[in-house]
Structure 1
Amino acid sequence: MKSRFAIFAIGLIAMLAAHAEISAKEIQGNQNVSARQWDVLDLTFEVNEVPPQPVDVEFWATFTDATGQQLEVPGFYNGSTEYVIRFTPPTAGEWSYVTHSKLSQLDGNTGAVSAAAASEGRRGGLWLDPDNDRNFVYEDGTNYYPIAIEADWLFALDAENPDGIPVTRMFVDTLAENGFNQVVMNVFAYDVNWKKDERLEAKYDYGSPRVFPFGGDNGQPDHSKLNIEYFKRLDRVIDYLDQKGLAAHLMIYVWNKEVNWPEADSENDNRYFDYVVRRYQAYPNLVWDISKEALGYGHNDVNYITSRIDRLRKLDRYQRLVTVHDYGYCMRFPKKVDFISVQLWLSELYSVMRKVVSQFPGKPILNIEHGGYEKGPYVVFTGNYTSPEVCLERAYQCVFAGTYPTHYWQGAAWNVVFTDIDAMAPEDRPRLDYYKHMRAFVDKYDLASFKAGDKKSNSGFCLHNDDGLFIYYVPKENVSIGVSVGKDKVGGMMTGRWFDPMSGTYSEPIRQKITQWPSFAKPQGEQFAILIVQVDATEEAGR
């Protein structure tokens, strides 16, 4: 072997005591590297000297397993005299590799990776469900039901800390504990373009960060250079999300956050874009998003976004999922994206989302912004709805429409970030616990497998599994709901149970005979409720 390499097994880090920071184990010589399926490995190669533009060096490795299956993985410059091939074994077994480059010291290096079966809980990347085109699955086939939250400035929480990410860990831990499994975030954002709350304390404002992904700074950038240290520190964030089971919904650009970007489709722009794709594609928790507000601010046109998608798909050998944070683009070019991201704020959200479902058959739908921005200690951006209960209603309407929700809290979605939520005064804390209850409910009933849109009641909305289980969203205005479980079931028995989405509690079972027009009285309270109805499997009409 022509150069030494280092191995970096991300999937094992979570098991290290006290959440030890990322470290690399260096292995000298032509040795067999032990790893696990779906763990991320950094194979690191040293050169004597680098060319004037080291990022532009073409460098990749061809990995081959025992069956002859091959995967070509692009490498990237990692600062100083170091280059990296970041490899995630897609299957267990023996993988040999050989490197390729016009730079002689990076060409012809050989080695092997012996990948054991995935560790417990390790599920691989996110895919579209081959058996249900509205859903997502992990590579191992288990369901992935996204409940997303936006945290644009997640990259910034520890970006100035060379030694670790304690603040990021604390914040991400809170998200994971409350049921979120996807974070919508930026590679970089600079500052908001709206007036800030005059009461805002500097310690909570991550706008105008001193870090920058290019040379120079946002005020005086050198777009011809990339700040490799910036990306090394971003690695830590993506990695920790992966450890905690959260997808990194990574928006490569953002046009309305005051970033001084290189000219669109210039050499400098392409260098940045390609580098991000090469560096992060191996992470199994990665979801690509070309840009936040992709077409909303005159930076480019649809042709640019389309060319970015094509460029990404050509370079991303792991074929991670791709979307665009712009409903206008997704609406016009649904075939270019793997799932549709919509921004719909209309009041009667359920019917609106059902219409989207009908417009785009065969595509999962994520409402990436439903206009609800839960209030925080400071006014950041109010949207149309700030009540945590109303935001939750809208999230559940997305769920019952057969689509997926994204939550925004004004204390974390943009430049203002409260990272230690447990330390906040109780009256200032966000109601993230509502989404913890949503996660438990979604998982308990495996809602990804349910059908949406069928009229099975005289009001509200219904999900059902075609096997006697009906789940109803009952609006807060209701005092009761009439259910329709099938004329052939009349005379049989059913059991109803109420679920309180605010507390996560269930009522006692309500046994009831199925009549021609059966109904259930909604529990008292000024909130919506969810009714679960199970029809007895052994009961038939007339018996």
Structure 2
Amino acid sequence: MAFMGEHTKARLILDYEDGRAALSEALPEFTSHPENFGSAGDLPIGALATVFRVKEAAQEKLWVKLSTIEVPDRVEVPPIAPDPGYEGPGVALASARISVPAAGRVNETVEIAFEGPSHGNPFTDVELHAYFSLDGVEIRVGGFYDGNGRYLVRFLPERPGQWQFRTESTARSLNGHAGTVRVEPGPARGAVRVAESFHFAYTDGEVYRPVGTTLYAWTHQSPELEKKTLETLATSPFTKVRMCVFPKGYIFNDNDPGLYPFERDDETWDTTHFNPRFFQHLEDRIRDLGALGIEADVILFHPYDRWGFQDLGAAADDRYLRYVVRRLAAIPNVWWSLANEYDFLTAKTSRDWERFAKIVTEEDHANHLLSIHNGTRVYDFSAQWATHCSLQKVDYYKSAELVEDLREKWGKPVIMDEIGYEGDLEYEWGNLSAQEVVRRVWETNLRGGYYTHGETYYHPEDVLWWAKGGELVGQSADRIAFLDKLVAESPTGRLEPLSLAGVPTPAGGVAGEYELHYYGYSQCRYVTVSVPEGRDAVIDIIDTWAMTTDTLPGTYSGRPRVELPARPFMAVRVRVNKAP
């Protein structure tokens, strides 16, 4: 038997008389409102204690009481090994019909299709790999079953040339195929990679700036709403979307999706049979984002779930990960997030997350970016597999202010992926003013980090952008676009934090060339800036809320005093002229 603790789901605690009594004492505002159970019942009680700001002493008392309540041990279903005798010796090797493209292009998906067997359960019985080689370099790519006797191998080539391939499979008809694919140069920029320690670039070297937004469940909505979301994104500044694979069940997310990732056996998910239509739909939406120049930050697990997908068991989790990564890895505009709020997934331990990271890196031949997102406990981003830091604020007020310290601590790019949402809900995470969101965005960017926007304005039909998409109604998106334009105009297309002695407000840019100074809440009547000795500079006064840029007449040198209108959210840009 096992015992309850801070990682136990609230719903399970409420099933026990002693647990309900302990919970009622510690969190009466939760247990006295049954409507909370549906939206938050699957969260760990430790997370709810943080959300409801239970005092530390009361938490410790609760943990002691819960530690005396026994619960049944979890029974794990063992993994299913591929069947080496799936096709008998009477089936000729490499006899499945194969379709190879006449040519592919660099940084674009190359797909090889096979018409193969469909008896038994090809999802678990058949293992398929292809090995692509060019100039002595060989890349192993996992294949997958797409239903109706169709198998696919998808490859994302980063170099032109005559690529050779061969297949290995537990199905004789899929085993032993060989051929070539001519890959030609093309205009595609490729996958995004970490660049210069704290930033990002496409495979071809072009600068990439993550300007993110949050659309957790947008691919689980009606076709009409998905279309409207894409239309909105097409006119937005966003270059990255955080989105879940699994549907989301939480407040304002009560609708059931039209498709699920697994087949259903009565009331139980058959995790050995994937639903190809679900994944085809997901791929189509990711490609739609790619056509708009937007990266899909794909969240593989999340805790907001009334269907049981957060707790499938280790074997099912691993099988799902291999399947989804093999399907999506050859799509250029994919990132991986192991989880949204990983620490709220009570059934998973640190060993699970490390195992999941190993699976993703093994199966992703294209080496897409990979991270994990926290609820209240920041992950240890020193993990070798973590390419960047994906963070939620861990303080109601401070978040952006921590970016420089986090860069120094981890030595990796920092993305404040949940900096707080612009909205008008009663929940602290969803009621920031647009001015505060814009302030946090400026603070984050000038301190050397990146950010993700979200919008949570009440809607009578529960169509909130942060989950379902639709239309933007807030005021921060346009101002985020205004900031990104200023960043793009820097000599490097990026900002580095600039440390200025005695100046508490942030500055970022390229030292001695291009500087943005931001004054946030301060309402300065004037400020003094510095221009490198022997140089002169053009100075702009920027109203970050009104989105105006006023260039002062002439040029300035030394330490000029810059007059400001004594109101908050102002910035000054210093553009240093080249030395004569």
TM range (shorter): 0.7 to 0.9
Q: Alpha-carbon deviation of 1:338?
A: 0.8
Q: Deviations over 1:11-68 (max 9, x none)?
A: xxxxxxxxxxxxxxxxxxxxx6122111113211011433324344110111122x23
Q: Paired residue for 2:548?
A: 505
Find the partner of 2:413 among 364, 369, 372.
364
* Aligned counterparts of 2:115 and 2:532: Cα–Cα separation in 1: 73
Correspondence 1:6-85 to 2 at 5 A: 6=99, 33-65=102-134, 67-85=135-153
* Unpaired stretches in structure 1, ≥5 consecutive residues: 8-31, 159-164, 197-204, 422-427
The question of whether the paired residues in 2 share the 8 Å contact of 1:472 and 1:530 is answered with: yes
- Over aligned residues, Cα RMSD in angstroms? 2.7
Structural mapping, 1:234-273, within 5 Å? 234-261=282-309, 263=311, 265-273=313-321
TM-aligned CA distance change 1:314 to 1:278, over 3 Å: same
Deviation digits for residues 260-312 of structure 1 (CA, Å, limit 9, x no counterpart): 12745532222112111111111111111111111124221111111111121
1:291 and 1:416 map into 2 onto residues whose CA distance is 16
Contact 1:457–1:481 under 8 Å retained in 2: no
Paired residue type of 1:357: R
Work out whether 1:224 is the aligned partner of 2:272. Answer: yes
The answer on 1:331 being equivalent to 2:380 is yes
Q: Secondary structure at the match of 1:438?
A: helix
Indicate how the Cα distance of structure 1 residues 413 and 287 shifts in structure 2: closer, same or farther if over 3 A, else same: farther
Change (3 A) 1:180 1:138: same
Task: Tell me how far apart the structure 2 counterparts of residues 221 and 63 of structure 1 sit (CA, whole Å).
Answer: 35
Q: 1:407 aligns with which of 453, 461, 480?
A: 453
Contact map agreement 1:213 1:230 (CA 8 A) in 2:
yes
The answer to whether the 8 Å contact 1:453/1:462 transfers is yes
Q: Cα offset for 1:521?
A: 2.0
- Which amino acid in structure 2 is aligned with residue 113 of structure 1? V
Counterpart code for 1:407: H
1:80–1:212 CA distance, 2 compared to 1 (3 A): same
Q: In structure 2, what is the Cα distance between the partners aligned to 1:480 and 1:487?
A: 24
Q: Does 1:124 align with 2:190?
A: yes
Q: Structure 2: how far apart are the matches of 1:5 and 1:173? A: 37
Q: How far 1:336 moved relative to its partner?
A: 3.6
Under a length normalisation based on structure 2, what TM-score does the superposition of the two structures give?
A: 0.76
Deviations 1:312-348 (A, max 9, x none): 1122111111100127353364434111112124424
2:391 paired residue among 332, 342, 345: 342
Higher mean C-alpha deviation, range 256-265 or range 302-311: 256-265
1:182 aligns with 2:240: yes
The alpha-carbon distance between structure 1 residues 332 and 442, as it changes in their structure 2 partners (threshold 3 A), is closer
2:482 corresponds to which of 429, 432, 437: 437
Q: Residue 518 of structure 2: SS of its match in structure 1? A: strand
What are the superposed Cα offsets for residues 473-524 of structure 1, whole Å, 9 maximum, x if unpaired?
A: 12242224534426735xx643211233334432133435434x53212235
2:434/2:474 contact within 8 Å kept? no
Partner Cα distance (1:166, 1:457) in 2: 54
Task: Report if aligned partners of 1:495, 1:511 keep a CA contact under 8 Å in 2.
Answer: yes
Aligned length: 480
Structure of greater Rg: 2
- Aligned identity (percent) is 20
**Separation in 2, partners of 1:124, 1:206:** 37
2:579 aligned with 1:529: no
C-alpha distance 478-532 of structure 1, shift in aligned 2 (>3 A)? same
Taking structure 1 as the reference length, the TM-score comes to 0.81
**Does 72-81 or 32-41 show the bigger shift?**
32-41
Match status 1:482 vs 2:550: no
How far off is 1:416 after superposition? 5.2
Cα distance between partner residues in 2 of 1:75 and 1:177: 36
In 1: Cα distance, 2:483 partner to 2:265 partner:
42
Deviation at 1:447, TM superposition (A): 6.0
Distance in 1 of aligned mates of 2:450 and 2:397 = 17
CA contact (8 A) 2:518 2:569 kept: yes
